[in-house]
């Protein structure tokens, strides 16, 4: 199972954001990691940990790559999680620049069917806003692609 399948089957409440959301919308670039925005409540983070337990999730931003060991107590302190697993990198954030917190991100999302699963993905307009807010060189290229995709969709292309 890939990362997304694990999260869906594990009952994690999340929205695909970032570069991978661009891929879902039709962008042609290749991205290394899966970015999600999720509810950082203890129950959801513990579900995420359980979904990844057998693929060795570690905090990839810590020098000693500490294992992911969430408890109900330490979940409350977290805002972001940057994980590496045996099957790829997973970045979990609680806030998206240009869009807002998880409830706003969820509101700006749309449900897409991927490999027979219903997955929430950040909508095209919100993704363009988020990419514009980030404004790194790769975000600028993504904005150009996403705006062309929007025009092609509007034009029936």
Binding site for another protein (CB under 8 A): 2, 23-24, 26-28, 30-32, 112-116, 121, 141, 144-145, 147-157
- Whichever of 18 and 44 has its CB closer to another protein, that residue is 18
For another protein, the closer of residues 20 and 102 by Cβ is 20
Which residue reads 């990362």 in tokens?
Answer: 3
For another protein, the closer of residues 85 and 94 by Cβ is: 85
8 A C-beta contact, residue 46 and residue 10: no
Least distance to another protein from the beta carbon of 32, Å? 7
Q: Which is nearer to another protein, 27 or 45 (CB)?
A: 27
Q: Which is nearer to another protein, 69 or 116 (CB)?
A: 116
In the complex, minimum distance from the CB of residue 156 to another protein, in angstroms, rounded to a whole number: 7
Please report, for residues 18, 46, 47, 57, 146, the alpha-carbon distance to residue 38 in angstroms, rounded to integers and kept in the order given.
Answer: 13, 12, 11, 17, 23
CB of 123 to another protein, least distance (A): 13
State the nearest-atom distance from the C-beta of 20 to another protein, in Å: 8
* Nearest approach, Cβ of residue 111 and another protein (Å): 10
Helices (H), the chain: 3-9, 18-25, 42-52, 72-75, 102-107, 124-134, 137-154
Question: Please, which residues have CB within 8 angstroms of residue 89's CB and are 6 or more apart in sequence?
Answer: 32, 33, 34, 60, 82, 83
Place of tokens 């203890």: 42
Give the rounded distance of the alpha carbon of 132 from its chain centre.
17
């Amino acid at each position: 199972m890939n990362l997304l399948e694990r999260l869906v089957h594990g009952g994690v409440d999340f929205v695909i954001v970032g570069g991978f959301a661009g891929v879902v919308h039709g962008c042609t670039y290749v991205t290394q990691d899966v970015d999600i925005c999720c509810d950082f409540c203890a129950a959801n983070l513990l579900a995420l940990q359980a979904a990844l337990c057998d693929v060795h999730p570690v905090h990839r931003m810590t020098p000693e790559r500490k294992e992911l060991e969430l408890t109900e107590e330490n979940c409350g302190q977290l805002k972001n999680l940057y994980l590496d697993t045996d099957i790829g990198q997973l970045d979990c954030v609680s806030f998206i620049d240009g869009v807002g917190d998880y409830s706003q991100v969820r509101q700006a999302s749309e449900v897409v069917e991927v490999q027979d699963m219903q997955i929430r993905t950040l909508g095209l307009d919100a993704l363009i806003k988020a990419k514009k807010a980030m404004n790194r060189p790769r975000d600028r290229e993504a904005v150009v692609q996403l705006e062309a995709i929007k025009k092609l969709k509007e034009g029936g292309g």
